[in-house]
């Protein structure tokens, strides 16, 4: 096990008050957090059940959990909480749902559910769904700033915000009637609960004796307040962050939360982690010089013992096609010359749209690649629809599944009807599905709506009986046909080809379910267990895929690259209007773009290449591009510029042919 450096040791052993660890890129912050958890349990006598560590992604939480597990013995870690902020909030709501006026087993709305509900409300109230994304973003921002619907309406500064606030009131009321919460509620509700019920807050303060927070610069207003409420009494906490890697302002993140800590906890101790274990000194020098152009409250300088390293290459290309071709050919040449695996290479870019042309070039040269941010099979619309039908068949109390499919295909049962159904179900303490054919519902709803709801329930009851009496997969196939689901999918698809592809996913899902049933060694698996196993299998496979990092060049946005590292990194599109992005130039918010470039540079371990195009096609016309101001801010003595000389066309062609000849020669070896 690697030894901690003096600064890391200081951070691990300091437990007499609040601590901020300013951890530069690649400085071993995860080691500090995991070793500190072990130290608290083994040396300080704090029971694991009283320690909570929070971070931002499931992947980071899993990695932290595994590493802590390797440091602890036997049952030492029993009851330890390592989770995301949202999971912590979810656990609080689950335990305290009665205080918040929810039934147990409440549903969590995902992006698709939220959008569908807002669209429905807007169509009913405003005869249209224009601007649904803008309304969704405004509501999310209000929730992150702990602003409830009535307060949002009172604060509205213009008709646009006023309309959004009225929709927010409808939306929140409907969610409550559905016994559902959305993603932002997972932080908002615990904060509001703690503020309104001091006795509940005291109970959680007694549970959380020591709190550790990772990636603290990414916290928003509500997450900061949740942390502050939990630790205010004892001030026993460690937060780890890096103001230079705060790149999520668009998601509500506030790097100033690092400074706010000093005001709220005057006895705060600050420990700097400046030794980098990832990159060469030259790469770190470039990163330090670049980020020094941003204002800082805390000054830090990354350094490394990894050697000086190669110059940073800056490559000017004729246009975006030449840029992608150059990157693809260089990676192919390096792979063949040095036997470097393709997974050693990463291509980073500012926006996902830049990936398309790069993908085509990699495919053309038969270079395997892996695109981060692709859609998982189980995240596809048609798969989510059918999985919700299956979940409702095996568990009629699953309100979230019910809400997802009640209008798929459309049955003309709107949010107003569902709100009344939800209120009735809550008053009876039963699920939405069970309430559908109760006689008492007639007192709250018009006959045509009670008939539609009863018909839906009777239809699924019949399918359930068929599943238990005959071959379940056949019964589900009949269900899809009876729903006329294929016509619905085709109506919702942009083209016949897209419709075919989506229906292919539907039949593939049934096949996967069939295989799950057949693979059961005892032959005793029920359809309920098979469906449960299928969902779990997808989750585990995705986790495994993330963990293993499949062979292939890694392609991702600069935002997605945070926390990762690669021996060879290409950052493409280093141009004004791309990086920094035009919107940030217009809004005069260049600092975050500079932090984004800093994150990209500090992903590289040994080799870093920055590329840009002299001309680029935009909206059908070719425009001249200026290279990014960030290139001018890098230390000139550490850069090697290429492609600046305007060589005659024949020479360029000869150079290109010579590069291809080199590759062919390598292939013949």
pLDDT tens figures, 205-259: 999 999 999 988 888 888 999 999 999 878 899 999 887 776 776 666 666 767 7
pLDDT tens figures, 3-43: 889 999 999 999 989 999 988 888 888 889 999 999 999 99
| Cα–Cα distance list, 32 to 27, 210, 213 (Å) | 9, 15, 12
Least confident of 20-24, 144-148, 377-381, 575-579: 377-381
**Predicted local confidence at residue 127, as pLDDT:** 59
Range 615-642 average pLDDT: 89
* pLDDT greater than 60 at residue 646: no
Active site residue 174: no
- Euclidean distance between CA atoms 435 and 422, whole angstroms: 9
Least confident of 410-419, 563-572, 602-611: 410-419
Strands (E), 32-175: 51-55, 81-84, 107-109
Active site residue 218: no
How many residues are present in the chain? 669
- Euclidean distance between CA atoms 630 and 454, whole angstroms: 63
Question: Cis link prior to 580 (omega < 30° from 0)?
Answer: yes
Active-site entry in 55, 84, 174, 245: 245
Helix 221-231 and helix 85-100: axis angle, to 10°? 70
Element (H, E) at 612: strand 604-618
Decide: pTM greater than 0.75. Answer: no
Active-site entry in 29, 36, 285, 316: 29
Higher pLDDT, 110 or 459: 459
**Predicted local confidence at residue 525, as pLDDT:** 60
**Predicted local confidence at residue 524, as pLDDT:** 57
Would you state the structure tokens that stand for residue 359, as one six-digit string? 């993908």
Active site residue 111: no
Active-site entry in 562, 603, 605, 629: 603
CA dihedral 363→364→368→370, nearest 10 degrees, is -30
pLDDT tens figures, 193-219: 999 999 999 999 999 999 999 988 888
- Euclidean distance between CA atoms 512 and 518, whole angstroms: 10
| Cα–Cα distance list, 646 to 503, 505, 650 (Å) | 53, 51, 11
pLDDT band at 539 (very low <50, low <70, confident <90, very high): very low
Angle in degrees, CA 540, 569, 3, rounded to 5: 70
Look at residues 327, 265, 406, 338 and name the one whose alpha carbon lies nearest to residue 612.
Answer: 327
Per DSSP, what are the bridge partners of residue 569? 346, 608
Task: Give the burial class of 390: count Cβ atoms within 10 A of its Cβ; 0-12 exposed, 13-18 middle, 19 or more buried.
Answer: buried
Per DSSP, what are the bridge partners of residue 304? 276
> Is residue 281 within 8 Å of residue 307, measured between CB atoms?
yes
Active-site entry in 96, 215, 382, 577: 215
- Dihedral sign from CA coordinates of 496, 502, 506, 511: positive
| Cα–Cα distance list, 15 to 10, 22, 386 (Å) | 10, 16, 51
Element (H, E) at 388: helix 381-394
Would you state the structure tokens that stand for residue 357, as one six-digit string? 């042309």
Active site residue 543: no
Active-site entry in 113, 182, 185, 214: 214
Q: How many CB atoms lie within 10 A of CB 487?
A: 11
Q: Per-residue DSSP letters for 68-89?
A: HHHHS-TTTTTT-EEEEHHHHH
Distance of CA 210 to the CA centre of its chain: 26
Active site residue 214: yes
> Is residue 103 within 8 Å of residue 429, measured between CB atoms?
yes
Q: Tell me if residue 596 falls in helix, strand or coil.
A: helix
pLDDT band at 558 (very low <50, low <70, confident <90, very high): very high
**Predicted local confidence at residue 630, as pLDDT:** 94
Active site residue 215: yes
Active-site entry in 9, 30, 163, 529: 30
**Predicted local confidence at residue 252, as pLDDT:** 62
Tell me the HSE value of 648 on the side-chain side, using a 13 A CA sphere.
Answer: 3
pLDDT tens figures, 500-530: 888 988 888 888 788 777 655 445 566 766 7
Q: Per-residue DSSP letters for 447-500?
A: HHHHHHHHHHHHHHHHHHHHHHHS-HHHHHHHHHHHTTHHHHHHHTSSSHHHHH
Sheet with 269-273: strands ordered across: 81-84, 51-55, 210-213, 237-241, 19-23, 269-273
Range 594-606 average pLDDT: 93
* One-letter-per-residue 3-state SS of 177-230: HCCEEECCHHHHHHHHHHHHCHHHHHHHHHHCCEEEECCHHHCCHHHHHHHHHH
**Predicted local confidence at residue 229, as pLDDT:** 94
């Amino acid at each position: 096990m690697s030894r901690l450096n003096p600064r890391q040791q200081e951070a691990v052993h300091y437990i007499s008050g609040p601590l901020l660890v300013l951890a530069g890129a690649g400085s071993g912050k995860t080691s500090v957090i995991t070793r500190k958890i072990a130290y608290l349990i083994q040396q300080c006598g704090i029971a694991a059940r009283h320690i909570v560590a929070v971070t931002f992604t499931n992947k980071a939480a899993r990695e932290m959990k595994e590493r802590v597990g390797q440091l602890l013995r036997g049952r030492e870690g029993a009851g330890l909480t390592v989770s995301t902020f949202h999971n912590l909030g979810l656990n609080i709501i689950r335990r305290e749902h009665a205080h918040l006026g929810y039934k147990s087993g409440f549903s969590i709305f995902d992006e698709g559910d939220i959008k569908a509900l807002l669209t429905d409300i807007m169509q009913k109230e405003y005869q249209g769904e224009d601007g649904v994304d803008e309304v969704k973003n405004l509501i999310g921002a209000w929730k992150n700033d702990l602003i409830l619907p009535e307060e949002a309406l009172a604060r509205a500064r213009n008709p646009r915000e006023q309309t959004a606030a009225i929709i927010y009131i409808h939306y929140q009321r409907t969610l409550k009637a559905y016994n559902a919460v959305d993603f932002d509620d997972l932080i908002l509700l615990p904060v509001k609960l703690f503020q309104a019920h001091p006795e509940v807050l005291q109970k959680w303060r007694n549970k959380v004796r020591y709190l550790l927070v990772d990636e603290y610069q990414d916290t928003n207003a509500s997450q900061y307040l949740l942390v502050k409420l939990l630790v205010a009494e004892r001030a026993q906490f460690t937060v780890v962050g890096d103001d230079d890697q705060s790149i999520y302002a668009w998601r509500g993140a506030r790097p100033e939360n690092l400074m706010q800590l000093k005001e709220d906890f005057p006895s705060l101790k600050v420990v700097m982690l400046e030794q980098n274990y990832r990159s060469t000194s030259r790469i770190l020098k470039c990163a330090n010089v670049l980020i020094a152009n941003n204002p800082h409250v805390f000054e830090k300088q990354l350094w490394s013992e990894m050697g000086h390293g190669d110059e940073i290459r800056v490559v000017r290309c004729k246009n975006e096609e030449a840029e992608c071709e150059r990157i693809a050919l260089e990676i192919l040449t390096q792979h063949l010359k040095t036997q470097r695996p393709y997974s050693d290479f990463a291509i980073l870019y500012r926006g996902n749209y830049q990936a398309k042309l790069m993908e085509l070039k990699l495919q053309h040269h038969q270079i395997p690649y892996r695109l981060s941010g692709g859609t998982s099979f189980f995240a596809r619309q048609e798969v989510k629809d059918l999985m919700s039908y299956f979940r409702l068949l095996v568990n009629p109390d699953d309100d979230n599944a019910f809400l997802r499919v009640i209008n798929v295909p459309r049955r003309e049962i709107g949010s107003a009807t569902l709100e009344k159904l939800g209120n009735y179900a809550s008053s009876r303490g039963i699920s939405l599905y069970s309430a559908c054919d109760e006689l008492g519902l007639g007192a709250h709803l018009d006959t045509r709506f009670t008939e539609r709801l009863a018909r839906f329930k009777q239809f699924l009851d019949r399918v359930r009986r068929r599943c238990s009496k005959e071959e379940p997969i056949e019964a589900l196939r009949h269900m899809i046909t009876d729903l006329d689901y294929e016509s619905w999918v085709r109506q919702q698809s942009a083209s016949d080809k897209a419709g075919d592809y989506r229906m292919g996913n539907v039949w593939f899902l049934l096949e996967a379910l069939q295989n799950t049933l057949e693979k059961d060694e005892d032959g005793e698996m029920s359809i309920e267990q098979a469906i449960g196993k299928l969902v779990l299998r997808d989750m585990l496979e995705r986790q495994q895929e993330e963990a293993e990092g499949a062979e292939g060049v890694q392609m991702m946005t600069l935002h997605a690259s945070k926390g990762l590292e690669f021996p060879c990194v290409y950052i493409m599109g280093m141009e004004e209007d791309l990086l920094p992005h035009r919107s940030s130039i217009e809004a005069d918010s260049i600092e975050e773009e500079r932090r984004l470039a800093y994150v990209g540079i500090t992903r590289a371990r040994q080799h870093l290449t920055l590329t840009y195009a002299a001309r680029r096609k935009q909206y059908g016309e070719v425009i001249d591009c200026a290279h990014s101001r960030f290139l001018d801010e890098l230390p000139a003595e550490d850069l090697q510029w290429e492609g600046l000389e305007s060589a005659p066309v024949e020479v360029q062609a000869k150079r290109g042919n010579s590069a291809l000849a080199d590759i062919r020669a390598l292939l013949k070896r």
